[in-house]
Amino acid sequence: MEYISTRNSKKVFEFKDVFIKGLADDGGLFIPRSLHKIDINELKNLEYTELAKKIIYPFIGNFMTKGDLAQIINKSYSVFRKKNVVELVKVGDRSVLELFHGPTLAFKDIAMQLLGNFYEYYLTNENKKLNIVVATSGDTGAAAIDAIKGKKNVNIFVLHPHNKVSSVQRKLMTTGKEKNVFNIAVDGNFDDCQNLVKTMFADKNFSNDIKMSGVNSINWARIIAQSVYYFYSYFLIEDNKQPINFSVPTGNFGDVYAGYLAKKMGLPINKLIIATNQNDILHRAISNGNYEVEKVHETISPSMDIQIASNFERLLYDLNNGDDLEIVEIMKNISDNGKYIIDDKKLNLINKNFLSSRMSEEEVLKTINTIYKKYNIILDPHSAIGYGAFDKVNLNGNNIVLATAHPCKFPDAIKKAIDLKEDLPKELMFVMNEEEKFDIIDNDVNKIKKHIRERI
């Protein structure tokens, strides 16, 4: 498969470049030059790992053989607490797709475990050394650390916003003992962390010098790994005469884009709902065309406290019929003026595939409370936003909610909603008493660069 950047459709890349670079040198995002259709009848009744092999293989070109990929997928998913990685449970009139049975209790493990093993494979075969630098709003960091810790020839530096992630999220990042893991708490918010990483990448002197690599949600390898559970859950729905809709708690637009990718490959999804918290730039964009960056609000669903939804550029590329120059223009506008107005024609195109919703903090707490009382199930705040979205947009058919994190990751919010403490799964209890290791650094790219250089 050949890849291009959303900002230059002439230059062609292979999967290895796409995976290792994360972001294209021109600042654009990698996408396949053309996409194949999948015959979904061939994918029914497969176990999760078998399905993953079939879906992922066409994307990786000659990066590895089918046999090597099969081994890596088996290894990556053997660390999950469920045999088939995810679980679909009925909660009221909708189905909840639990994606949090991995080592760090959020859906990000599903892609990240695979990436960790891709790195190991690549670095062993090419005898190279890399430094991964990644920004996190809480869950990516832990998932990336778990996937990379202890692996040879690779260090990982994780930037999280200081005091803006939950205590459990932080402990899952900062209690590891491996020498190749470095946690940085930035005095700022998630968008600041993301901007620091982008600035370091853009500084070619620095990024080439330290052999910098990225695993943020723009990494294409993450997107393809995430598209697998849309297929998997689709096949678990028995009554597939009715349309199937997914509601996706959304921040950076990575997870919901993976659903869109599945649809483009031929999975008959009706609508994808972009479920946001108060940081509702995508809801405003999709309901009235106003993609306008505002201040980030801190919420009880911190993994979605994001204004700039990086992966949205991939959708913009499709909406503009692959006009790369137009994308350069739009992205420059967003970066200069913090704003992009989507015209009605494009909005109609978006609404063919996507709807959106927004939830206030009170509504999130109320949803957690109601669902607990009615069904004795505790949703984490992110998943509650996904669940509640189906009450805001009226869609008939089979409605699937992506449950993106385990409730124990957000103890304060759960306590507030139902006055209960949700424990960690017993395998993970120990992290609560481990010593934490992280450095607090100003929101200053030079200080961060210096810190990284001193440690590699």
Ligand X SMILES: *Cc1c(COP(=O)(O)O)cnc(C)c1O
Residue type, 112: M
DSSP-derived 3-state class of residue 406: coil
- Which of 139, 191, 280, 313 binds ligand X (CB under 6 A)? It is 139
Residue (of 202, 167, 146, 163) closest to 412 by Cα position: 167
How many residues form the binding site for ligand X (CB under 6 A)? Answer: 16
Quick check: 250 binds ligand X (CB under 6 A)?
yes
H or E segment at 213?
strand 212-213
Judge contact between 403 and 380, C-beta under 8 A. yes
Residue (of 92, 90, 96, 97) closest to 374 by Cα position: 92
- Mark the segment that binds ligand X (CB under 6 A) among 43-51, 249-257, 325-333, 337-345: 249-257
Cα–Cα distance, 318 to 194 (Å, whole number): 24
- Which of 69, 72, 106, 225 binds ligand X (CB under 6 A)? It is 106
- Which of 191, 255, 280, 313 binds ligand X (CB under 6 A)? It is 255
- Which of 166, 194, 217, 357 binds ligand X (CB under 6 A)? It is 217
Sheet order of strands, 244-249 included:
87-91, 94-98, 398-403, 244-249, 269-276, 354-358
Q: Which is nearer to ligand X, 255 or 280 (CB)?
A: 255
Number of other CB atoms surrounding residue 47 within 10 Å: 13
Quick check: 97 binds ligand X (CB under 6 A)?
no
Quick check: 251 binds ligand X (CB under 6 A)?
yes
- Which of 73, 212, 304, 431 binds ligand X (CB under 6 A)? It is 304
Residue (of 137, 85, 136, 87) closest to 109 by Cα position: 85
Q: How far is the CB of 121 from ligand X (least distance, A)?
A: 24
Catalytic residue status for 295? no
Quick check: 382 binds ligand X (CB under 6 A)?
yes
Q: Which is nearer to ligand X, 59 or 257 (CB)?
A: 257
Q: Which is nearer to ligand X, 122 or 410 (CB)?
A: 410
Cα–Cα distance, 33 to 220 (Å, whole number): 13
Q: What is the full DSSP assignment across 325-353?
A: HHHHHHHHHHHHHSEEEPPHHHHHHHHHH
Q: Which is nearer to ligand X, 69 or 112 (CB)?
A: 112
- Mark the segment that binds ligand X (CB under 6 A) among 246-254, 316-324, 361-369, 442-450: 246-254
- Mark the segment that binds ligand X (CB under 6 A) among 29-37, 74-82, 153-161, 251-259: 251-259
Quick check: 254 binds ligand X (CB under 6 A)?
yes
108, 151, 164, 171: which one is catalytic? 108
Q: How far is the CB of 304 from ligand X (least distance, A)?
A: 5
DSSP-derived 3-state class of residue 90: strand
Quick check: 253 binds ligand X (CB under 6 A)?
yes
Nearest-10 crossing angle of helices 361-375, 411-418: 70
Q: Which residues are catalytic?
A: 108
Residues that bind ligand X (CB under 6 A): 106, 108, 139, 217, 249-255, 303-304, 382, 404-405
